[in-house]
Amino acid sequence: MLKGKHIVLGITGSIAAYKAAYLLRLLVKKGAEVQVVMTPAAKEFITPVTLSPLSGKPVVSEFFAANDGQWHSHVDLGLWADAMLIAPATAASIGKMAHGVADNMLITTYLSMKAPVFVSPAMDLDMYKHPSTQANLKLLQTYGNHIIEPGFGELASGLEGKGRMEEPEAIVAYLENYFAKSADMKGEKVLITAGPTYEKIDPVRFIGNYSSGKMAYALAEVCAQRGAEVYLVSGPVALETPAGNIHRIDVESAEEMYQACIEHFPSCQTAILCAAVADYRVAEISDNKIKREESGELSLHLLPNKDIAAALGERKQPSQYLLGFALETHNESQHAEAKLRRKNLDAIVLNSLQDQGAGFRHDTNKVSILSAEERLDFPLKTKKEVASDIIDYILKNRKNK
Ligand code: PMT
């Protein structure tokens, strides 16, 4: 997968910089063309003299070459690369990347980068755990960067914990996996519903639920990264639209979500219904704010909303794949299986509020995928990883349809 790929390997000032030589060698062995960019601090740990012969190119570290004043163009590198890999990435460089502190060649190259960026942190365990580092890593993720989690083990400080740069073989495997998957949804359109719906009671109140949209937005991000064009029909959430070919259609009520889905479903090969849609709406929305002093006790007359999943299930063509979600609190499998059949879904992703770290608002989820043929149980993972598992499942099973 790496043959012929242009990779900018950024090296920052960490003791783990010595591993970058081996990493570089592995990348070159896989057929990649690698341009090394080092921070000034990285040169304290490993010299360009080691790295340049391994890459077959002069190492870039300064804005200008000292001997002849030639400008090293970070802009050109940003256009040349198929990927930028920063390994090891120190807390300082991660902070500069997160906040655009462009005071060295590596950071300017990062800011000019058009290709996906992979960051492999390396630092002491307490530095890694620090809220500042974690917040900066989260920021990088919101920019669409991929964080290659550090491993547990012995650190340069002599302490043991999380902070060791991932092993070069694993980093290369991560890149290979990324490139293998980066185009497997190319040319395909995917409809995804996200977040809660709000059903108005009066001008200031609504019926809603706790959905944050995180699970659905992770799905949209993964689909876009894998080359799909995504129609993201989103209820009210406080999330940025992920990078990529994503058309976000903001809606508020279940009826608006229904209309948007009915419009876009016919052109999509896959629909993933992740939204927590309100099952009921208020029969009569009050034009004015309801006053307790005037109304006393209040009963709301609720009417059932349209079932979007079932409506798409009815319209589904043989070439289309329809995946729903089920958030359950008890008799989970039974309820999920009933929804799978009732809504004519190809598969349903079950998450239960009985599982810690699963369901609403968490960055993690624990799911099972159920179809008429099988059930697959997954451990607790980040929502991004869960999204990848779900997409892998759809691509594999759609072929067998
Ligand atoms: O947004 P997060 O905070 O990340 O949380 C993620 C999540 C818990 C919302 C998500 O993982 C999830 O489980 N979504 C579905 C929640 C749900 O309300 O499911 P349900 O059992 O009510 O509905 C079953 C399926 O029918 C779902 O695919 C739902 O989108 C769909 N549905 C339901 C009602 C309706 N009127 N129309 C629908 O399309």
Q: What is the pLDDT of residue 67?
A: 72
Candidates 266, 256, 199; CA nearest to 233 is: 256
Q: Two tokens at 397?
A: 């099973």
Which pLDDT score, from 0 to 100, does residue 401 have? 61
Identify the active-site residue in 177, 209, 331, 344. 209
- CA 262, 265, 270, 274 dihedral sign is negative
Q: How far is the CA of 277 from the centre of ligand 1 (A)?
A: 6
CB 88 within 8 A of CB 122: yes
Distance 196 CA to ligand 1 centre (A): 8
Output the CA 309–ligand 1 centroid distance in Å.
9
pLDDT along the chain (401 residues), means of 10: 95 96 98 97 96 95 76 85 97 98 96 96 94 96 92 83 93 94 91 98 97 98 94 97 94 98 98 98 96 88 98 97 97 97 98 96 97 97 94 89 61
> What per-residue confidence (pLDDT) applies to 279?
96
Token pair, residue 297, equals 């006790």
**Tokens (6 digits) for 309:** 């999943």
Domains and CATH numbers, the chain: 6-181 (3.40.50.1950), 189-398 (3.40.50.10300)
Pairing of strands 280-282, 270-273: unpaired
* Measured distance CA(96)–CA(107) in Å, rounded: 7
275, 216 contact by CB (below 8 A): yes
Give 145 Cα–ligand 1 centroid separation in angstroms.
28
**Residue located via tokens 């009826």:** 255
For residues 253 and 207, give the distance between their C-alpha atoms in angstroms, rounded to a whole number: 10
**Ligand 1 atom 10: residue of nearest CA:** 274
> Where does ligand 1 bind, in terms of residues with CB under 6 Å?
193, 195, 211-215, 254, 273-277, 279, 305, 307-309, 324-327, 339, 351, 359-361
Beta bridge partners of 86: 10, 119
Tokens found for residue 251: 């809606």
Q: Whose CA is nearest to atom 21 of ligand 1?
A: 326
pLDDT at 152: 86
Unique residue bearing structure tokens 């290659």: 148
pLDDT of residue 1: 82
The reported pTM is 0.77
Per-residue exposure over 84-98, b if at least 16 CB sit within 10 Å of its own CB, e if not = bbbbbbbbbbbbbbb
Return d(Cα 170, Cα 397) in angstroms, integer. 28
Separation between Cα atoms, residue 221 and residue 227, nearest integer Å: 10
Cross-strand pairs, 247: 231
365 is catalytic: no
Ligand 1 atom closest to Cα of residue 306: 36
Amino acid 400: pLDDT = 63
Of the candidates 261, 255, 299, the one whose C-alpha atom is nearest the C-alpha of residue 281 is: 255
